[in-house]
A and B are shown apart, each in its own frame.
Chain A
Amino acid sequence: MIYVVGALILWGLGWMLNARLANGPRANTRAVQIAVPVIFGATILLIWELIVRGLSVPLVILPPPSMIATTFANSLPILWADFVQTFVKGALSGFVIGGVAAFLLAIVVDRYDFLRRGLLPVGNFMAALPIVGTAPILVMWFGFDWQSKAAVVVVMVFFPILVNTVAGLRDTSDMQRDLMRTYGASYGQTLFKLRLPAAMPFIFNGLKIATTLALVGAIVAEFFGSPTRGMGFRISTSVGQLALDMVWAEIVVAALAGSFFYGAIALCEKGVTFWHPSQRS
């Protein structure tokens, strides 16, 4: 019981601290802007720990964070192998293949107005569908190993990148295009000097959406069959064995992989589209 009371007090304290920081005079400094969410996250973890212990919540329902951390530290080789299988082999290769394919198709589609009118509505429609449902089919076609996961990822990332690239390639003003015409520029010159640079913010937007989709696709596809490693495989088997600490450790890996993947793309974006108003400070 004392733990639960402790949790409540901690919650109050954490919130008071954050409220003072957020409304204080230094609220706009970078340090406070990082500190506040970190304090919030740490408070949640501590409360979780205290409540699980205080109410003796069964481990098969919710393990405490300390136990998840221990499991994480003790199973690094397994987690690493799962990460390589799901993220590097499945998600990353699918992301690259799907991204390149979508990009090339976007350039072709953009060149022919008829194709654009026809493919764009279809692409928009497809981007809203539960494409992850193709997983059982692709697992059947490409086998249990990473190739089928990569295939699911290809299909999932394809349409968002296609639609965004096509939209980006059209995002030049009449004036900018007229300018290139006054120079008598060729199609290729206009493409490389004007339209591709102008499309970059859109392309990165598509890529950022696709990072999350790639991981979702690779993990969910493993629910339909996989070799005896991989993040999705580990999650589904550990859930079956009620080894929830392992499941949570795997979720931590997924969260880290997702944020770093997204962060890496966002970093590239900052480098490439430094000129865009959204990137200037």
Chain B
Amino acid sequence: MVSNLIISAQNLDLTFQTNDGPVHALKDVSLEIGKGEFVSFIGPSGCGKTTFLRCIAGLEQPTGGQISVNGMTPDEARKARAYGYVFQAAGLYPWRTIGGNIKLPLEVMGFSKAEQAERVARVMDLVDLSGFQKKFPWQLSGGMQQRASIARALAFDADILLMDEPFGALDEIVRDHLNEQLLALWARTEKTIGFVTHSIPEAVYLSTKIVVMSPRPGRITDVIDSPLPRERPLDIRDSKEFIEIAHRVRDGLRAGHQDDV
């Protein structure tokens, strides 16, 4: 039993009905995530990592099993605004300024005008975007746009941050930089983070817990608790421990692959 349980899934099943017959996206997935953990989901495409994240967010309905978020059903948690979600693309509204985009969830949730302004300023500072409030998304680089979308997810101060390959479309250098910033942000805000990725170094560098998944049907093959300290400079990636964990992740991915090659 994890202390301060935030997310708990038991024997989760999800089958999509498609034109080519049913697709078993998740099979018998059980996982517990405690408060303040940074959990990465890694696996090849079709392994159900994004689907699992969407189940936590209440964006997909599981067809079997139990899942609870903050002791509620995901749908209730969604309506209680328990989490911020960051998508693969920044998905900022082009007709709103950066500040306007970050304000969007606050408007929807009915914060007062003064509180909106105060929160926008705070989270923009948090992701290092102060001064870009009046710019439009298309005037910013891809990395800055993704930072703005993280700020948008942080604006209403939910305890949980769910991120679906947020840096997948960015180049390596920008990605390293954002990874570092994300860790700093996590340390400062003590949020619980669920993070989908297909990059092994990214998963190992960021996480306290790495969940390895494999496809057809989507399932968990390994859960690795990282022995790395919470304080992580970028060059920790050259350390022996880091390489060992990366190895274990790679082995897990390979094992999951064996039965369909």
- Could you tell me which A residues sit within 8 Å of B by CB distance? 173, 175-176, 178-185, 189, 193-194, 197-198, 200, 273-277, 280
Supposing A185-B108, A193-B107 touch, asked if A179 and B78 sit within 8 A by C-beta, the answer is no
The reply to whether A181 and B95 contact each other, CB–CB distance below 8 Å, is: no
Decide if A193 touches B108 in the complex (CB within 8 Å): yes
Would you call B108 and A180 a contact (CB within 8 A)?
yes
- A181→B162 CA distance, assembly (Å): 14
Q: Are A183 and B108 in contact (CB under 8 A)?
A: yes
Interchain nearest-CB distance for A180 vs B (Å): 7
Q: How far is the CA of A183 from the CA of B158 in the complex (A)?
A: 11
* Chain B positions within 8 Å of A274 at CB level: 95
Which A residues touch B91, using CB under 8 A?
Answer: 173, 175-176, 179
A280 lies within 8 A of B138 (CB):
yes
Residues in B with CB closer than 8 Å to A276 are 94
What 1/0 flags go to B86-113 for Cβ under 8 Å of A?
A: 0111010111000000001101110000
Contact A183 B138 (CB under 8 A): no
Smallest CB-CB separation from B57: which chain A residue? A182
Total interface residues on B, CB under 8 Å, equals 25
- Residues of B in contact with A (beta carbons under 8 Å apart): 57-59, 78-81, 83-85, 87-89, 91, 93-95, 104-105, 107-109, 136, 138, 156
Contacts of B104 in A (CB 8 A): 183, 193
Contacts of A193 in B (CB 8 A): 104, 107-108
| Inter-chain contact B78/A184, CB cutoff 8 Å | yes
- Give the 6 A-B CB pairs with smallest separation, nearest first: A275-B94, A182-B85, A275-B95, A184-B79, A183-B108, A185-B108
**Residues in A whose Cβ lies below 8 Å from that of B85:** 178-179, 182
Count A-B pairs with CB separation below 8 Å: 54
In the complex, the answer to whether A178 meets B95 with C-beta atoms within 8 Å is: no
CA distance A194 to B107 in the complex (A): 12
Q: What B residues does A180 contact at CB under 8 A?
A: 108
Residues of B within 8 Å of A198, CB to CB, are 93
**Measured between alpha carbons, how far is A200 from B93 in the docked complex, in Å?**
13
Whether B87 pairs with A179 at a CB distance below 8 angstroms is: yes
> Bound state CA distance, A191 and B85, in angstroms?
20
Q: Contacts A175-B89, A193-B104; is A183 near B109 (CB within 8 Å)?
A: yes
Which residues of B sit under 8 angstroms from A183, Cβ to Cβ?
81, 104-105, 108-109, 156
Tell me the complex Cα distance, A181–B136, Å: 23
Q: Are A197 and B95 in contact (CB under 8 A)?
A: yes
16 contacts across the A-B interface (CB closer than 8 A): A173-B91, A175-B87, A175-B89, A179-B87, A179-B91, A181-B58, A181-B59, A181-B78, A182-B57, A184-B80, A184-B108, A185-B108, A193-B107, A197-B93, A200-B95, A280-B138
16 new A-B pairs (CB below 8 Å) besides A183-B105, A184-B108? A173-B91, A176-B93, A178-B85, A179-B85, A179-B87, A182-B57, A182-B85, A183-B108, A183-B156, A184-B80, A184-B109, A189-B108, A200-B95, A275-B136, A275-B138, A276-B94
Determine which of A178, A189, A194, A200 lies in contact with B87 in the assembled complex, contact meaning CB atoms within 8 Å: A178
Nearest A residue to B88 via CB reads: A175
Considering the chains assembled together, what is the distance between the CA atoms of A65 and B6 in angstroms?
A: 81
Contact residue among A178, A182, A277 (Cβ-Cβ distance under 8 Å from B83): A182
CB distance from B156 to the nearest CB of A (A): 8
Chain B residues, Cβ within 8 Å of A275: 94-95, 136, 138
Chain B min CB distance to A129 (Å): 34
Q: How far is the CA of A185 from the CA of B109 in the complex (A)?
A: 8
Across the interface, name the chain A residue whose C-beta is closest to B84. A182
Q: Which residues of A contact B138 (CB under 8 A)?
A: 275, 277, 280
Task: Give min CB distance, B16 to chain A, whole Å.
Answer: 14
Question: Which of B81, B87, B89, B107 is the one whose CB lies under 8 Å from A184?
Answer: B81
Is B59 within 8 A of A182, CB to CB?
A: yes
